Amino acid sequence: RLSLIHTNRSPESRAPPMASPALSGTHHRLLLPCFLRRLPRPRSRSCSRLRLDACHADTLLSSSGAQGPPGPAACSSASSAGGFSDWLLTNGLPPGKVAILERPVPCSRGGKDRPLHFVAAGQDLEAGDVAFEVPMSLVVTLERVLGDESVAELLTTNKLSELACLALYLMYEKKQGRDSLWYPYIKELDRQRGRGQLAVESPLLWTESELDYLNGSPMRDEVVVRDEGIRREYNELDTLWFMAGSLFKQYPFDVPTEAFPFEIFKQAFVAVQSCVVHLQKVSLARRFALVPLGPPLLTYKSNCKAMLTAVDGSVRLLVDRPYKAGEPIIVWCGPQPNSRLLLNYGFVDEDNPYDRIAIEASLNTEDPQYQEKRMVAQRNGKLAIQKFQVCVGKEKETISEMLPYLRLGYISDPDEMQCILSSEGDTCPVSRLTILDVATYCI
């Protein structure tokens, strides 16, 4: 496997078939009329090496080094993480209450991967405690990369995302090797390879045979779309080079598309995507940030309230629950469905309250009564092409909203259509008994 951020040119390898990464949940489209079919029950499968439920945050803790009084340093780390910890402390990281520990890689390829690092409580913590603070001098943002004026000009082009800019910056910094201030941090990102708590990469980096796991899922199409978006951004990298000449003149290297093949940029992009933090209540130039001690060293969870926040010249983490020494620190990953979590971070959350599936239904434009049906749909706040979000725990409510619209699409009797046009209220009322029957049938 290639490292996520490379410095040496290598032949462009075969890529599977975002400008800025616009994301969406799992998505289906339903063209009316159609027939409801009972969904097949999933078949049991044998364990695979890319099994996403292979491990959980609370089972990944290395028992060694978990107990004992905390040291004075912010990062009381395992020996293999010592270089990264020393770099943080040398460059101004104040004393904190966390440690960098190691955990095995249960989903490794051939068993050759080194253990991954993770941020754990260095001592017992209570809800509301400040686990750590990272000074802005150790945070990579567009303000550091480009400066405010360049950022404003760049973002108006709508061709490059913040992630592409940050990825390109780290790629050039890595070319400088140990002369770069960020060398220890980039080395840590290379070690993690964009893998989260389940030690699985984003599907954007899977091989063709591994992508076969997604056959039959809309996720495979999302991987293709995102891959094409990353390629479009790659083609615009030279524009960034010339627009921000004052920055890149310090690098004695070729323009981006000559210095880095697409596959190298893609790996760097995915690495940045997996660890970028979206800070709130900050300037545009600081909105997206790479924070040492942040993800992927932190463990993401959908039902957590702890967030990295910018406060008085630093990025701070207040924990939202008590921790015992050695337990992995958990932060909120935002209101993202599992499809986004898999694409961005390589894991799914079985307890994700934001998980959803999008079902798109449309009125048939070849229907002789299409115009009348479209009028009725608009009168009830619906469109000719309507998307319904089926959220976890709210399936019944969504079905209650969908069925009148679906019934409208199936109406063929002109007299019944005229009756609906002259009535008020729901698009096409359906009895509660029908709703319960259909919901039971679909489940």
**The domain spanning residue 336 has which CATH number?**
3.90.1410.10
Both 400 and 301 in a single domain?
A: no
Distance from CA of residue 233 to its chain's centroid?
Answer: 18
What is the DSSP pairing of strand 314-318 with strand 330-332? Answer: unpaired
Q: What CA–CA distance (Å, rounded) separates 338 from 344?
A: 10
Asked, for residue 46, whether it belongs to a domain, the answer is no
Domain hosting residue 417, numbered range: 356-441
Q: What is the pLDDT of residue 153?
A: 58
Q: What CA–CA distance (Å, rounded) separates 297 from 409?
A: 50
Q: What is the pLDDT of residue 109?
A: 56
Asked, for residue 156, whether it belongs to a domain, the answer is yes
Q: What CA–CA distance (Å, rounded) separates 244 from 391?
A: 43
Q: What CA–CA distance (Å, rounded) separates 330 from 169?
A: 28
Residue after which a domain boundary falls, among 312, 345, 378: 345
Q: What CA–CA distance (Å, rounded) separates 33 from 48?
A: 39
Q: What CA–CA distance (Å, rounded) separates 369 from 383?
A: 15
Q: What CA–CA distance (Å, rounded) separates 374 from 225?
A: 30
Q: What CA–CA distance (Å, rounded) separates 314 from 311?
A: 5
Contacts of 159 (CB under 8 A, 6+ apart): 19, 232, 233, 236, 239
Both 228 and 272 in a single domain?
A: yes
Residue after which a domain boundary falls, among 313, 345, 377: 345
Q: What is the pLDDT of residue 135?
A: 94
Both 185 and 231 in a single domain?
A: yes
What are the beta bridge partners of residue 332?
301
3-state secondary structure of 56: coil
Asked, for residue 79, whether it belongs to a domain, the answer is no
DSSP alpha helices (H): ranges in 380-413?
A: 395-410
The per-residue pLDDT string of the chain (443 residues; one tens digit each, 9 = 90 and over) reads: 333 333 333 333 333 333 333 333 444 444 333 333 333 333 343 333 332 333 333 322 233 333 333 333 344 444 445 688 899 999 999 988 999 998 877 655 555 667 888 999 999 999 999 999 999 999 999 888 876 556 655 664 666 788 998 998 899 899 888 999 999 999 998 888 877 777 788 899 999 999 998 998 889 999 999 999 999 999 988 877 776 655 566 666 778 888 899 999 999 999 999 999 999 888 888 889 999 999 989 989 888 999 999 998 899 999 999 999 999 999 998 888 888 999 998 888 888 888 888 888 899 999 999 998 998 888 888 999 998 888 877 888 888 888 888 888 888 888 888 888 887 655 565 555 444 444 454 44
Q: What is the pLDDT of residue 82?
A: 62
Contacts of 252 (CB under 8 A, 6+ apart): none
Q: Is 220 exposed, middle or buried (0-12, 13-18, 19+ CB in 10 A)?
A: middle
To which H or E segment does residue 235 belong?
Answer: helix 218-235
Both 337 and 361 in a single domain?
A: no
On whether the CB atoms of residues 284 and 174 are closer than 8 A, the answer is no
What is the DSSP pairing of strand 288-290 with strand 140-141? Answer: antiparallel
Asked, for residue 138, whether it belongs to a domain, the answer is yes
Asked, for residue 322, whether it belongs to a domain, the answer is yes
Both 379 and 424 in a single domain?
A: yes
On whether the CB atoms of residues 284 and 149 are closer than 8 A, the answer is no
Tokens standing for residue 386? 């309507």
Both 416 and 305 in a single domain?
A: no
Residue after which a domain boundary falls, among 282, 317, 345: 345
Both 325 and 373 in a single domain?
A: no
Asked, for residue 18, whether it belongs to a domain, the answer is no
Asked, for residue 160, whether it belongs to a domain, the answer is yes
DSSP alpha helices (H): ranges in 276-394?
A: 338-345, 370-379
Both 127 and 191 in a single domain?
A: yes
CA separation, residue 87 to residues 74, 113, 117, 299, 316 (Å): 12, 24, 15, 22, 19
Both 293 and 325 in a single domain?
A: yes
| Domain count of the fold of the chain | 2
Comparing CA positions, the residue from 89, 308, 339, 296 lying closest to residue 192 is: 296
Comparing CA positions, the residue from 276, 296, 273 lying closest to residue 344 is: 273
Strand order across the 288-290 sheet: 140-141, 288-290, 276-278
Asked, for residue 265, whether it belongs to a domain, the answer is yes
Both 365 and 310 in a single domain?
A: no
Both 175 and 301 in a single domain?
A: yes
Both 170 and 282 in a single domain?
A: yes
Q: Is 32 exposed, middle or buried (0-12, 13-18, 19+ CB in 10 A)?
A: middle
CA separation, residue 114 to residues 32, 77, 117, 230, 326 (Å): 52, 16, 9, 28, 20
